Amino acid sequence: MPLSDDQKAEIAAQRESSATTRRPTVAALEEVLYNALPVLDHGFVRVVDYMGDDAAIVQAARVSYGKGTRRVSEDAGLINYLMRHRHTTPFEMCEIKYHVKLPIFVARQWIRHRTANVNEYSARYSILDNEFYLPKPEHLGVQSAANRQGRGEALTGAEAERVMALLREDSERTYAHYEDMLNEDAAGNPKDPGRQGLARELARMNLTLNFYTQWYWKIDLHNLLHFLSLRADPHAQYEIRAYADVMLDTVRRWVPVAYDAFCQYRLGGFHLSEKGLAAVKRMLAGEAVEQKDSGLSPREWREMMAALGREG
């Protein structure tokens, strides 16, 4: 995960500075504030700012002026209640801002979550670095036969080597052509003063989707947890899940009580439909229930039975 000299200097300066504030801060999150937490081969996640903590969630729910005299256990009980019953507004009182470096194809998937404020690195004005994502061999999965959006078993042997060679060769070639069309080096200096370069906004279209981009991404806790519930799920694409896992740990540091509630009621929980709940009630009553008489589709039935730890 190479950082530019400018980025290293910025992070060092931010880490060395401090400020006196009356606002709540969270020591565990302060430990990693501004640090670049590595993801994939060249990517990272950095927490660059945040507002609020677990107490802010409780305060918003009670509409009080402070923590009061209530015990921590009571605060945890309230946050669990809010999470369990999907009372989302108090979680919106907390916000966090990330600096993320990620492959373009991951960014295009990520941006589908439209509840954040985003400002992305612009290749219209700047030259993209020669950094591209190459998956590890174990992540070179074949197309899944059961899921059109997913991957199956990993390629092995000569076929895996062939695919890796193609990915590297295509990336290196397109970047070389990108530089040639620009006729500029990374600093923007002409390589051949006698030749005009293509506009940056046009030259970028030749690059492959595994090249890295960067953005600042600010979001409230409620919408962040929704993002993580989808992207930290085992069924999510591996590359975006790698980012979600790192961000999930920053949430653990930031709002540990809300994090525990989220893990219990969202990540570790399972939502039953009306028909699914009816089927479970019939099972608990001792009735033998099968998919064909449950009212559930085969896929929903399999998912429910897997969550219940039973054969479908």
- Per residue in 184-196, pLDDT (tens digit) is 887 778 888 889 9
CATH dotted code for 5-133+210-267: 3.30.1360.170
For the chain, what is the mean pLDDT? 90
- Give the integer Cα–Cα distance in Å for 271 and 7: 43
Domain with CATH 3.30.1360.170 in the chain: 5-133+210-267
Q: Is 231 a catalytic residue?
A: yes
Q: What is the mean pLDDT of residues 77-106?
A: 95
Q: What is the mean pLDDT of residues 251-267?
A: 96
Q: Among residues 46, 200, 204, 231, which one is catalytic?
A: 231
At 182-239, the pLDDT tens digits run 998 877 788 888 899 999 999 999 999 999 999 999 999 999 999 999 999 988 999 9
